[in-house]
């Protein structure tokens, strides 16, 4: 039986790209669900019905140009998505949250997200508590929010003002920011 992964893309400009490729290499069937269409980009407070999570082996909520803290701007889909991922988590389905998706999972599990003191774009040094999972060293960051992680979660790498970027919940890892690791 083929394993199935659901990619939840919050806008039409944030596809899964290299992440899809890794799932495809491992034999997963990819399903994409777009929350805000290109036509609604400037009016993103749309209403959607999320796919039945029971049909998937893994769910990957992707990035977004909006913040997980923007309830007034995107609450029509954000608040149902928070409830959806509480159900997914409680059902034991693995979740890989990337960028906005990691922020979403922090909020789902009792943490919070807020605008950071400034945007962060460029190469920054990551300090990893677990180098078997995340190497120490430079990575490319592009975000402007700060995440207060859920209580009792294992926090992994950190750097400068953003503190922790990655946290682990049971067998799931949630990634706060998309990054490219520099290889010499």
CATH number at residue 63: 3.40.50.880
Q: Could you tell me the residue range of the domain that residue 79 belongs to?
A: 3-113+147-175
pTM of the model: 0.80
Q: Which residues contact 175 (CB under 8 A, 6 or more apart)?
A: 96, 97, 98, 99, 101, 102, 165, 166
Q: What is the CA radius of gyration of the chain?
A: 16
Q: Is residue 60 included in any domain, yes or no?
A: yes
> How does pLDDT run across 105-164, given as a tens digit for each residue?
889 988 888 887 777 777 767 666 666 666 666 766 666 777 776 666 555 444 444 444
The C-alpha atoms of residue 165 and residue 156 are separated, in whole angstroms, by 7
Q: Is residue 167 included in any domain, yes or no?
A: yes
Count of other CB atoms within 10 angstroms of residue 51:
14
Tokens read off for 87: 């159900």
Provide the domain count of the chain: 1
């Amino acid at each position: 039986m083929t394993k199935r992964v659901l990619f939840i893309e919050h806008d039409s400009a944030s596809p899964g790209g290299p992440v899809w490729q890794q799932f495809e290499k491992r034999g997963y069937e990819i399903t994409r669900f777009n929350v805000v269409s290109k036509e609604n980009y400037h009016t993103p407070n749309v209403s959607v019905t999320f796919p039945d999570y029971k049909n998937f082996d893994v769910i990957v909520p992707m990035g977004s140009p909006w913040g997980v803290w923007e309830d007034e701007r995107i609450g029509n889909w954000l608040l149902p998505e928070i409830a959806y991922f509480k159900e997914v988590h409680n059902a034991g389905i693995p979740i890989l949250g990337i960028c906005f998706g990691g922020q979403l999972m922090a909020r789902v599990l009792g943490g919070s997200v807020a605008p950071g003191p400034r945007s962060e774009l460029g190469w920054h040094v990551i300090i990893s508590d677990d180098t078997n999972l995340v190497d120490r060293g430079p990575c490319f960051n592009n975000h402007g929010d700060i995440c207060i992680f859920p209580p009792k979660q294992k926090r992994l790498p950190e750097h400068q003002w953003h503190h922790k970027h990655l946290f682990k919940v049971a067998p799931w890892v949630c990634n706060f920011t998309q990054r490219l690791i520099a290889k010499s």
